[in-house]
Amino acid sequence: MGPSALLTNDPREIIMGTGMVQARRLSSGTVHINVAEPMCRMFPAKITGSTRCDTTGNGFWQWKYDWEEVEPSPLTLCPAVVGISNFARSSSASTQKARNLCEAANVYDGLGNINNVIAPGVYQAAYDPAQVIVEAVPIMNDTIVMMCEQFPTNSYAVQNPPKSREYWFSMPDAVKTTCP
């Protein structure tokens, strides 16, 4: 462990902060330590459902996603003491659904409107709306995404800091094209 890999600390003796460090014992017997960015944790998750955020405006092409973590629980695979008791393993275990950050750039001004944009660069204006109508499609169930669990932090520069964990991922939506 450590930059030179010469530290003699036993990983079982290290106190690990929730979300900051993940330890798991590999089948070879070695302990693998993952350190995420400050105050966040990255993990693979499976999308299990979606709910449209709004029925008008940009929210028409934005969804809130249900998810479940697909990696095995470190509690069952690693005998090291790891502080993960309050990690959410699925959206049903938490009140927070995940958001797709790519959808924040979607623009919906009405079906077939030339101002519609589906991130990262599908424009209705590139098509004749009389011949092709483009629509964004939510991320499908059973899709594996790299989820970020971001923990709230205190900041004097932010007027409304998050009050609880936020879950998000980034994946472009599929595009549905319809020929009327």
Whole-angstrom distance, CA of residue 137 vs CA of residue 62: 9
Whole-angstrom distance, CA of residue 168 vs CA of residue 96: 10
This prediction has a pTM of 0.68
Cβ distance 40 to 141 under 8 Å? no
Cβ–Cβ contacts within 10 Å for residue 107, how many?
17
Look at residue 4 and tell me if it is in a domain: no
Look at residue 113 and tell me if it is in a domain: yes
Look at residue 90 and tell me if it is in a domain: yes
Look at residue 96 and tell me if it is in a domain: yes
Look at residue 81 and tell me if it is in a domain: yes
Look at residue 5 and tell me if it is in a domain: no
Look at residue 169 and tell me if it is in a domain: yes
- Domain of 119 in residue numbering reads as 11-178
Q: How many domains does the chain have?
A: 1
Give the CA count within 13 Å in the CB-facing half-sphere of 41: 24
Whole-angstrom distance, CA of residue 139 vs CA of residue 99: 11
Query: Tens digits of per-residue pLDDT, 37-93?
Result: 556 777 889 999 999 988 777 789 999 999 998 876 655 555 554 444 455 677 776
Query: Tens digits of per-residue pLDDT, 82-130?
Result: 444 455 677 776 667 898 888 888 899 998 999 999 988 899 999 999 9
Look at residue 151 and tell me if it is in a domain: yes
